[in-house]
Structure 1
């Protein structure tokens, strides 16, 4: 009634007449038919009961003159009206969520392939033609990214499910476009499922019916100036997208990377590739791809230029580089040079940039110099370590090193050891990258005193080696080393009949060489491949007025094979012998021993082999070892923890041919924790056929696998 009054008042009628109307008048009585037929005319003439004369009003009404005083108006609230209290609505029993079980009515489609990803999530695929060709991969990717999947059975409720269902619906639509289905449709249904006969036990469930529609294909493909490259044909093959192929946006990303890598690995040092643009044409059901490529010419390597010639000259850096002047430019080799300079540990920062020296002309490539900008690192290092082992006793070790005292890369290291079983003082000169990448010259002078369960020896020695090493940065299929050794050693020697003999002095000179063939996939934690190492060392020894000549040799082989997703089977074998001299002519420190963490686990260091009457190992002239272990991943700690059962065997013989008279077996279990620098190893071994003096268990901790 108030609304009608307001409308009428705005049309010119007086509110006073409305107040005087009887309270019982109906709306039809107040508004005559003439007002309905012509509201404007009726409003201007008024009604017989409502017109107020000018005399009664006391003045002429003027539309331009405002009313000075508003008339009094009041409407009384009806006191005798009682409103019923609000009553909450009870849900009707026949209204419920749409059931999505196979035996319940469906909202979407009857003939649908259904994949139940969890108790809370169902995917339906009603489209039969054309077939959804990428369905399996599509479902796997959706399952990995779904927010509903994160809930898991029993954790969901309707509110959570509804919120996550909207996100998953957007995810499905995005994935459809990724696979080239630009007209796809996703129908979302949220319902319940019965967990049992009890109707109160119902849990929410969401279903998506995915209708991909037609899959779009590539129309025009524009790669800019790629055709101007000398190797345009080969480069175009590296971008494996052709007209008519099914459109898939993440494939574009992959192929762009492949093309960029091909350009960088075939000489195009300054090539540029713009971000791809995809124009979808719904009428043609195609997408036109534009990705501008600017090859900018092909180049070969020139010189290496250093910004600090006195520290690391360009000539020396060229020996580190894995290219020669005139080789076709490769971006990976440029990055490798940067890593190799960093690996010297002589610089704090380094940057390598290609710089054009000679521009390309026609089919002739240009030349780029490698500009190396670096800052010197702190070159002096003081280090120390304190440790204890049941076999080594207490051990304190310290060293001082200047890593570039003799540029380039000539280091000097002073080291010392003080312990209950070993004391040592030594000086080492080392020249890295001498004559080529990872070729190292080492000269070492030391004096030591060692007391083990097999022997004690006071030794002064000079050794020198030149080797090509395999490193974590550049693992090589072939590593080798050659060297020489001169030493004088005064040692305890108990051999004949177990009767202690006086200390005996040996003067020894040796030449040696070793080589390793390595096809494994890692130095610290291999999972496949093999390694084969051979060592030969012709040696002469003078003691007690006699000269002895003999040949020390050793062969090691190891094999690694992945089984399934988490298990690696590893095996190794070792054979060593000393040919040409009787045992008395060989210093105890040069003989063969077995036992310990890198040999037969469960036994002490050097504890396996022939012994004298005092149960001291005497060493031998032949050795055989074998080990087998399974490195089983547990999946714990993000896959970092592995369990390793193992079994080892070893034998040491006095003769040059093994007689297996003193063969020992050990078995146990270990754990490995993988870190960024290799696995940490903890092995617990038990001797299976111990001697009375052997410990009941052996514990070994180290970095890296046992072999």
Structure 2
């Protein structure tokens, strides 16, 4: 059978050239194997290959020109034992990187100064500080942006090598930001050894920085800034980059903002500043700065118009604005008007559009009107809250308010209080921005019942106040108020045994006034400055057919000192007096008391003062208080949590001058949670010299600091 296959193979080889010569002829099996081979296959196989077939087998095949193999050369591949492969050349190391042997110390740059950023990261600068004076700022900035620092989570040389490439690019980019356009950064990755056992440590990356010369500004082109004429010198001075100054990309951004601010504050509402372009010339080692400026003409304020005149008219908006028609345009005043409109709480969105009313003529500014487009906000509010204070008990408050029932900004508010010691029902009319910014007219009428340890009162009051107040948007150095007050109150005091006697009716008329000078830096959370305030209320009181005149006066002073980034020391002093009438002629609710959240913490509300035999306070005609606390910010919740240890002291006396015969002292600790609108306050105080009716601890919750 093997011979038959051999013969078959030979016959197939004989047939190949024929197929090549005539591609249309396909040989059949019977053409290749004659009938004689079937009769005696062994004899046919022994005949071997005919000479002409052997020659044809060894001759190269002849292919047609159209055959796809016609152009393919013959391949003569030697046997693998005779094949010699060329040696593979090693890859050239990546430019700018040096790999240190893990068993050797990283080489130190003799003339360099190492700055270790972390366990894995070392920067090396020139020893001479003048060659790179921004070293500390540069390192801090690099630390915040470093990829190695951000993903320092495993001891992996491969990970470190990949991140080091990103940090090298970052360093080169930062060096250009600082004006070093020919700087070189050499990256070295390796490990270090420790001790005699040559124990290898974690891998680290080192960057040797050769800053080279620092480029300076060459030509500076500010476009059409000279068109500002009389203001050109001041505007050019606002852009504090001159030829020869070191190139600093951050400085370009900063000075562009300063120039934009100066244009906006100098009467150029339509000024435009194009993006800066810095062309670096390596031969001169300078950068030419081009920043086209178009002033756009100088203008004064004109009229203010409103798209909702029945809701908030243009005349009312002019009362809110801090500028008058004819004043030189200032962008800050335009933005202030927008914020003030939003602060009313009456609008959902506000857009101010400037339109040219009159063009500039020569050196005379033109006029620009301000068109205000507003959308209404929800004007009705239903609110409620529940609270508790030691001495005040539980209190549930609710209110309904329409903030623009009497346009513009005329609000009506109905409120009620239901508590364990106080009940109240009242209605209040309030007009904000009344004939001026932050001037408020308030008319309040209410009836209340109060049941304190010191007295019990049934009161009806009508109070009208006109005031200029500080707001969160604009804290004023000076604020004031003046008012008129009419009160009818039926009150009774506890006797020596603590039992309430008969009610006594008082009719009181008062003209309360208030003034405060404030240099602090924040209305709800001051950290520096001081506040001085005074309250004076000349009053007349009629009871049992007798009329009395007296003056209720109070002075407050507080001081705030920031001793570190995390601590503020705060102190407060309060002095009050009521001269002009005996204590019996003054209604108990209008006497002086101390104790509570904003007074002497640790004691109940109005619990400090002269007491009867049962220990209940009867109020006095003089008061003195002092408080000291340390406001310490912690690192909890990203610095939102603070702790406040405090100590308070106070005294109330029956005469018009404090006698300090009995001083009540309270101490404790508070927690502050900083929010976007002020700190939430939680204080726990303990009376250090309590009376028989004082509790062991007092708790206070509120918004803002205690003082």
Which band: TM-score by shorter chain?
0.7 to 0.9
2:164 match:
165
What secondary structure sits across from 2:328 in the alignment? Answer: coil
Task: Give the superposition deviation at 1:53.
Answer: 11
Contact 1:571 1:628 (C-alpha < 8 Å) held by counterparts: yes
Q: Does 1:353 align with 2:361?
A: no
Q: Does 1:631 align with 2:631?
A: yes
Contact 1:495 1:618 (C-alpha < 8 Å) held by counterparts: no
What secondary structure sits across from 1:267 in the alignment? Answer: coil
Contact 2:497 2:614 (C-alpha < 8 Å) held by counterparts: no
Root-mean-square deviation over aligned CA pairs: 2.9
CA distance 1:576–1:285, shift in 2 (3 Å): same
Q: What 5-or-longer segments of structure 2 have no aligned partner?
A: 1-15, 17-50, 82-97
Q: What 5-or-longer segments of structure 1 have no aligned partner?
A: 1-15, 17-51, 80-95
Q: How does 1:456-535 map to 2 (within 5 A)?
A: 456-494=456-494, 501-535=501-535
Q: Does 1:137 align with 2:175?
A: no
What secondary structure sits across from 2:329 in the alignment? Answer: coil
What secondary structure sits across from 1:156 in the alignment? Answer: coil
Whole-angstrom CA distance in 2 between matches of 1:361 and 1:265: 20
Whole-angstrom CA distance in 2 between matches of 1:67 and 1:413: 101
CA distance 1:65–1:451, shift in 2 (3 Å): closer
Task: Give the superposition deviation at 1:54.
Answer: 13
Task: Give the superposition deviation at 1:68.
Answer: 12
1:559 match:
559
Whole-angstrom CA distance in 1 between matches of 2:61 and 2:182: 69
Contact 2:414 2:426 (C-alpha < 8 Å) held by counterparts: yes
Whole-angstrom CA distance in 2 between matches of 1:105 and 1:480: 72
Whole-angstrom CA distance in 1 between matches of 2:209 and 2:558: 53
Q: Does 1:257 align with 2:257?
A: yes
State which of 97, 100, 103 in structure 2 corresponds to 1:98. Answer: 100
Whole-angstrom CA distance in 1 between matches of 2:459 and 2:130: 83
Q: Which structure's relative contact order is higher, taking Cα pairs within 8 Å and 6+ residues apart? A: 2
> Higher mean Cα deviation, 190-199 or 647-656?
190-199
Contact 2:389 2:701 (C-alpha < 8 Å) held by counterparts: no
CA distance 1:99–1:509, shift in 2 (3 Å): farther
**TM-score, normalization: structure 1?**
0.86
Q: Does 1:299 align with 2:292?
A: no
CA distance 1:650–1:100, shift in 2 (3 Å): farther
CA distance 1:430–1:64, shift in 2 (3 Å): same
1:224 match:
223
Task: Give the superposition deviation at 1:161.
Answer: 1.4
CA distance 1:291–1:65, shift in 2 (3 Å): closer
Q: How many pairs are equivalent? A: 639
1:442 match:
442
1:20 match:
none
1:34 match:
none
1:184 match:
183
Contact 1:127 1:212 (C-alpha < 8 Å) held by counterparts: no
Task: Give the superposition deviation at 1:55.
Answer: 12
Deviations along 1:285-334, whole A, 9 cap, x unmatched?
00000000000111111111111111111001100000011111111110
What secondary structure sits across from 2:385 in the alignment? Answer: strand
What secondary structure sits across from 1:203 in the alignment? Answer: coil
Contact 1:54 1:60 (C-alpha < 8 Å) held by counterparts: no
Whole-angstrom CA distance in 2 between matches of 1:470 and 1:689: 38
Task: Give the superposition deviation at 1:156.
Answer: 3.3
CA distance 1:69–1:164, shift in 2 (3 Å): closer
Whole-angstrom CA distance in 2 between matches of 1:689 and 1:411: 47
Task: Give the superposition deviation at 1:67.
Answer: 8.1
> Higher mean Cα deviation, 597-606 or 154-163?
154-163
**TM-score, normalization: structure 2?**
0.86
Contact 1:672 1:680 (C-alpha < 8 Å) held by counterparts: yes
What secondary structure sits across from 2:149 in the alignment? Answer: coil
Task: Give the superposition deviation at 1:100.
Answer: 9.4
Whole-angstrom CA distance in 1 between matches of 2:418 and 2:673: 31
Contact 2:562 2:569 (C-alpha < 8 Å) held by counterparts: yes
Whole-angstrom CA distance in 1 between matches of 2:447 and 2:380: 24
Task: Give the superposition deviation at 1:686.
Answer: 1.3
Contact 1:108 1:209 (C-alpha < 8 Å) held by counterparts: no
Task: Give the superposition deviation at 1:127.
Answer: 7.0
What secondary structure sits across from 2:481 in the alignment? Answer: strand
Q: Does 1:599 align with 2:596?
A: no
Whole-angstrom CA distance in 2 between matches of 1:74 and 1:106: 54
Q: How does 1:400-415 map to 2 (within 5 A)?
A: 400-415=400-415
What secondary structure sits across from 2:148 in the alignment? Answer: coil
Task: Give the superposition deviation at 1:160.
Answer: 2.2
1:46 match:
none
CA distance 1:63–1:560, shift in 2 (3 Å): same
Q: Does 1:383 align with 2:412?
A: no
Whole-angstrom CA distance in 2 between matches of 1:527 and 1:672: 14
Task: Give the superposition deviation at 1:143.
Answer: 2.0
Contact 2:115 2:122 (C-alpha < 8 Å) held by counterparts: yes
Q: How does 1:1-16 map to 2 (within 5 A)?
A: none
Whole-angstrom CA distance in 1 between matches of 2:246 and 2:324: 43
Whole-angstrom CA distance in 2 between matches of 1:672 and 1:471: 21
Contact 1:608 1:662 (C-alpha < 8 Å) held by counterparts: no
Contact 1:350 1:372 (C-alpha < 8 Å) held by counterparts: yes
Structure 1 stretches of 4+ moved >6 Å: 52-55, 58-63, 66-70, 72-79, 495-499
1:312 match:
312
Whole-angstrom CA distance in 2 between matches of 1:488 and 1:177: 77
